[in-house]
Structures are given as structure tokens and as C-alpha cells.
Structure 1
Amino acid sequence: MAAVVRTRLSRGIMGRLRLASQGLLGPGFRTAPDAVRWMTAMQAQDLQAALWAVGQRVPGSGVEDVRSALDRGEIVRSWPMRGTLHLLAPEDLKWVLAITSDRLIRGMAGRHRELEIADEDVQAARKAALQLVSGGEAATRGRLFRAFEEAGRPTAGQRGIHLLGILCQRGWLVQGPLSGNQQQVVALDEWIRESRTLDRAEGIAELLLRYMRSHGPATERDFSWWSGIPLTEVRAALAEVRDQLVELVFEDTGYWLSPGTAALLDDGVPGQRSVLALPGFDEFLLGYTDRSLVLPPQHADKIVPGGNGMFKKTIVAGGAVIGTWARSGNGRGAAVVPEPFDAVNGLRPAAQKSFELQAAKYRRFVGS
């Protein structure tokens, strides 16, 4: 039976527990693949943001360390959940897709009808793609789309990206080595040599357990939204793994996390004075359906202006989002500029100094 912790909690403590679970407090991870494997799946629709999300969790790393891991296939990037690109460990991709892809593709059926994408289009695109990349070859997205066109399958009006998404969700293609700032497409079975196989119930239970360990404290609804798995199956999986987790009750809601993270409550959760410069789309904010635990609702539109789906880079202090930041200029003269929510008082002196250290860390990471 899972331990239930009823202790004096605050939103700041809950946020710092999440930072600790995600490797953003403490020693972090030794390598980029270690960080991605622990996180299970990391938001990666913005590639540059995803590289920094990994870098923040791997002390001393540089952007080339993460890029090289992608080039070697130690990290892969695909559309496993919510129609959104994520980074995963290669051995995890197939079994996660086996759980999520059918429901995801069914959910896109209306959009596919609007785009006039039928099964014969998918099969023709699959044949053209595999002819192009089989035998260890890789193709840019532009070259792949030309192959679709040559097979009589138009790519205009988002047809191309949706065909590519389906081929990746079905486990035929995956994004592989980088060409500049664009990933090339490769055949999944050739790029990923070893894959795990889990049945659906076993896979959902593992995915849930790993999510709670790497994202907790989180709710079953957070996981259901994050994974796209229905709550009925989530609750059945939770019954299987709850004895490996701890439940925190905060504001009459049950949150789940690992025993190791919960143990931080015994001596005081670290990070009260921590300041982090996180990328846009980081799992710390986007990994949950309810973000109000760490982001005051009155500031939500400052993270996603106009609700346009583009998340700004965030400043996180003491476990809460307190502002955004931006990079100004290019090269060695580039500046990292804080934009706190409190525009009148700005950052306090100690927070400003900590932010400057984060800015220096970011510049070292990107090599500017």
C-alpha cells in the first residue's frame, strides 16, 4: 500500500519537488541519454529549446553533446503523444507508440479527412519513404516531401507534415541525424537496433511509474493528459504500481511521486533560493495538465501570448515561474535578458545574481 503524506505543504514546495524529480535540482545527470531516459519523454517540438532542456539537466554539457547523442541515435525524436514531438530513449519508442499511436491517429481523423489523406495515401507515402531511406540512408524533410510528390501524394497545405507524422507514429520512420538545424528522416527499424516489447497493460503501468518518478508530484489526470491514455486505464495502472510511489495530499488533491523525492520533505526541500532559466516548452511547465501549481494563472498569457501555442522561455525561482527571458543578438555579443512578471521591482539582487549565473551557463552551452 502506498504511503500517504499529509504534511505542511505549499505551492513553492510542490514546485521544488518537481524540480528535484526532473533533475533540475541537485547533481543532475551524467549524460544527455541518461537525462532523456529518466524523463521518459521530453517536449521537443522546438529543437533548440529541447537541446537546452537536456543541457539544463546535464551539468557541464554543451549543445554539441546533445546534438551528438541525436546523431548517434542515443536519443530519438518522434511524435509519440499529443501530436507533439518528444525526445525519448531509442529502446522506449516502439512500445510507447504501441500504446499511444492508435488513439492519437483516430483523434486526428477529422483533420486527415479535411486534408484528404486516406489509407492509400499513407501506404504510398510509406513505400516512397522506405525506398528513399532504406539501406542506412537519411533524407531531409524537403527530400522526403519530394518523394511523396513523385509518388503522386501532394504535400501542400500541411499534407506533407501529417503524412510524415503518421509514418512516424506507425513506427516506420523516425527522425535521425542532424543536418544543420534540421533532423533527417531514417527508417526506424534500421536506426533503432534494440527495442523493448511490452503488452499494453504492462506498458501503461511502466509509463505511469516512470512519469510519476520523473515528474512527481503529479496527479493521475496530469499523466492521462500527458500520455493521452484514458483515465480508466490510468487508474488500473496506478493500482498496480502505487506501492512503489508515495501520495501527497495537497489542497484536497492526491499527488504521486517517488519515495526518494518524498524523502526530501524530511529535512526540508532544497532549492528555495534557486533560480533557473528554462527553455520554452520545458517539461517543468508543459508536463502537466494543470500548470497553476507553479504558474500563477494571471501570468499565463505572458508565457503563451494570445494563446498561440508558442511557449516563452521561463525564469523559475524557488519552484515557481516568476518571469520570462529572451536572447538578444547573436554570437559572442548575445545578451540574455530577464523579463520578470514584476516589471516595477524586477528581480531581487540575489535572484538577479543567480539569473546572471544561469545566463552564463546558457551561453557556455550554446558556445556563445
Structure 2
Amino acid sequence: MHPGGIGGGRRVEAGMDDGGRRHIGTEERRARLALRHRLAGTARAAGPEAVAEALVALHGTDPATVYLAVAARLAEPVKAVPETERALYEDRTLVRMHGMRHTVFVFPADLTAVVHASTGLMVAARERASLLKDMAKAGAPDAAWLAEVEASALSALARRGQATAAELAADEPRLREQFVYAAGKSYEGVHTVSTRLLRVLGVEGKVVRGRPLGSWTSSQFRWAVAPEHPELDEAGAQSELLRRWLEACGPATEADLKWWTGWRVTEVRRALTTIGAQTVSLDEGTTGFVTRDDTEPVSDPGEPWAALLPALDPTAMAWQHRDWYLAPELRPQLFDRSGNVGPTVWWNGRVVGGWAQRGDGEIVWRVLDPTAGREAEPTVAAEAERLRRVLAEARVTPRFRTPLEKELSA
């Protein structure tokens, strides 16, 4: 069953444009989002693996985002923290690693080889070359020396199972070596070999982040040797990743796909051709793409729904062009200056406001879009209560703070 069929609500009528192509309007795009991203009440998932599978990737730059993104989509949200920890650190069905756009994500374990081949290898080559270049400029030891340190560090990590950079440096003291970065520049700094090397090994798929040092909200992680995976062909891996993402987020424009993957436009076009993607027209007058078997109309959720999504949630950050679910006038309140989205309130497939947690644990929210109406308030309030139970005694402050979140949390 295609994920678009979850829910069993009113069937959305299929339309055609003047050229005979399938037309997918904003109403249907919001219905697809509600169902495929497991946000509507009838579409909620049983566990974190199902959430990650539905979304392809969970943003992991802010550790709390992973847990709260899962909680918003579970039928029983209070299970989000223990079940996500189980999936990440016991069963290893989810893996935290570098992915698209050189960003940390949490992926289903069976997707790690695809991500590594499709996006990781390109980034890894640049990262290693940059490290060697910076070390050479600083007069630090050469590539042969770095290779020795790397092999020693990986052996130590394999013996320990999981370890911090400081623990690895106890086994391999050369990891403590420092070198000056960008000497003479305004941004000159001192880098430690361990910091840069572990980052390179991460994007190369040799190590992954293990358990955090503190609670589930901590941003300090141990490292672990990456699970083995097959080495895949780059073009084939790109086609598979794009196919999975289109199943979750289609229709999407070429610009959306280039932005989300971080690939060159030629790679995006090659992958679209390989999977036989179909073109559709969108309300904005642009061309979108869906997988070849995803042209049938979907059913809407069948009932109104609301969601409180965390900062950097994968739904809010999935598309580059967001006007169909986010009014441009709301962006200054909900995004920081670098384009990172803060905590958002959703109503029937669109962002209508934001939320925050105060120091005493209270969840506060505000609807900024007057078209949501009072009808939304009881459902949003119920979602705030669901979130309060998930957080319990935990306190969460987004890594990238936005104007509305700062105001509400004050």
C-alpha cells in the first residue's frame, strides 16, 4: 500500500493541466504531507523506525529534534524518547551520520550505504583534502603521519566500542596535536587533530556518533565504528535516494531536489531520468516531479489535524520552495537569519504559528495566521499537552533560536 493511502478520508479529485499533464494543487500537496509525513491523527506511526522510513531522514544537527520529530508522529508519543534511544543505541535500526548538504541526519540503517555513496563520498573527498591542506599550511605532519594516527585511532575505537575524543586521545596521544588554521586571517583559530580527523572519518562513513554523554538533549556524543555496509555505485545510489525522497515528498521541483540533496543539477536530472519520474504541474505554475507510480489522487486525512513540530523538523525543511505550506509573511518570526526554521505550529497542512518551552516546562504557542480561526485552538492545545508529556522534566532550547521562540520562552 502506498503511504498516500493512509487515513481513508475524502478522495482528492485528480486534475489535468492544459497540456494534458497531471495537475497536483496545493490542497492535494497538503493532504500528501499530512499522510506521508505521519502528521494527521489517522496516519501516526507505531515506532521511530516507521517515522524515519516515512521521512527518509531526520535532522540531527540539534539532538532534541530527532526525538521531538518522532514524538509528533507517534500514536503514543510518550514512547518517543525510550524507543528512539533503543533504535539508535541498542538495535541500531537507526544511524546518526553525515548526509545531504554536509548535515548530520538520522537515517534508517538500511539506507546508510545509499547515503554514503550518493552524497557522503563527494563531501568526504573535499573534507580530507581540506584537512591535509590546512595541516600543510601550518607546517603540521604530512599525510603519512595522519594515516598512522587514523589507523591507530580506529583500532582504539574498535577495542573500546564507543569513546569520546578525549578517551581516544588517551590511547593515541597524537590526536591531541594542534595546528593553526587560517593563520593571519580574521578568523584564525587553533584546531585539534582529533576534532578535524573524526569529522573526516564521519563523512567517510568510517565512524558514527554513539550515545550522548548526557541526556537525550545533549549535543556531546561518543564515537563508534560505523556498521559495515556494501559499497554502491554513485549513480545507482543517487537514483535510489531520490526515489525514496520523492515517494515521501513528491511532488517536488528540480530546485527542491537540488537543494535537499546538495547535488549538481546534472546529477539530479540523471537520477530523475533513471527512475522514470513523471512531471506534473503545480499551482505556482511550475513543474514538479513524482515517481512513476504516484500519479493517482490521494485521500485527505478525513479530519482536521494539528502538529507542534520542533526546530529543524524534516517536514518544515524538506522543500526549498515553501509558499504552499508557509506564508512568506510568517518567515521573519519563524526562521533565523541563516534560514533555520524554529518550532512551528501546523494546522491542516500549513504552518500557522510557533511554540516554545519556558523554564518551568510550560509549552506556550501562538497562532500568527488569522485564517486558521478559533477552530484550530482546541486541537493545537491538545497537541501542546501531548508534547508536554513527552518532555516531562526535560528542558529544550533550540540550537538555532528564532524571534518568536525567544519571545514566547521569555
Residue matched to 1:325: 355
Q: Secondary structure at the match of 1:93?
A: helix
Match of 1:22 among 37, 46, 62: 37
Residue matched to 1:89: 108
Query: Within 5 A, what are the aligned runs for 1:69-218?
Result: 69-72=87-90, 73-105=92-124, 112=131, 115-116=134-135, 119=143, 123-135=147-159, 137-144=161-168, 150-154=174-178, 157=190, 160-181=194-215, 182-188=220-226, 192=227, 195-218=229-252
Asked if structure 1 preserves the Cα contact closer than 8 Å seen for 2:96 and 2:209, the reply is: yes
Answer with 28-37 or 121-130: which moved more.
Answer: 121-130
Asked if structure 2 preserves the Cα contact closer than 8 Å seen for 1:79 and 1:165, the reply is: no
Match of 2:282 among 249, 256, 266: 249
Residue matched to 1:225: 259
Distance 1:247 1:126, change over 3 A: farther
Residue 353 of structure 1 deviates from its aligned partner by 1.1
Q: Distance in 1 between matches of 2:146 and 2:200?
A: 8
Match of 1:338 among 345, 361, 365: 365
RMSD after superposition:
3.1
Give the count of matched residue pairs. 351
Asked if structure 2 preserves the Cα contact closer than 8 Å seen for 1:80 and 1:93, the reply is: no
% identical equivalent positions: 22
Q: Distance in 2 between matches of 1:294 and 1:121?
A: 52
Asked if structure 2 preserves the Cα contact closer than 8 Å seen for 1:41 and 1:87, the reply is: yes
Q: Secondary structure at the match of 2:315?
A: helix
Q: Distance in 2 between matches of 1:256 and 1:40?
A: 17
Distance 1:261 1:236, change over 3 A: closer
Corresponding letter in the other structure for 1:252: G
> Which structure's CA Rg is the greater one?
2
Asked if structure 1 preserves the Cα contact closer than 8 Å seen for 2:317 and 2:341, the reply is: no
Answer with 59-68 or 160-169: which moved more.
Answer: 160-169
Q: Distance in 2 between matches of 1:64 and 1:99?
A: 31
Residue 297 of structure 1 deviates from its aligned partner by 2.3
Residue matched to 2:59: 43
Q: Distance in 2 between matches of 1:233 and 1:274?
A: 37
Match of 1:365 among 387, 390, 399: 390
Q: Distance in 2 between matches of 1:272 and 1:217?
A: 23
Higher helix share: 1
Corresponding letter in the other structure for 1:44: G
Match of 1:353 among 364, 374, 378: 378
Answer with 310-319 or 279-288: which moved more.
Answer: 310-319
Residue 278 of structure 1 deviates from its aligned partner by 0.3
Give TM-score scaled by structure 1 length. Answer: 0.83
Runs of 4+ in 1 over 6 A off after TM superposition: 145-148
User: Tell me, which stretches of 5 or more residues in structure 2 are unaligned?
Assistant: 1-19, 137-141, 180-188, 394-410
Q: Distance in 2 between matches of 1:313 and 1:320?
A: 13
User: Tell me, which stretches of 5 or more residues in structure 1 are unaligned?
Assistant: none
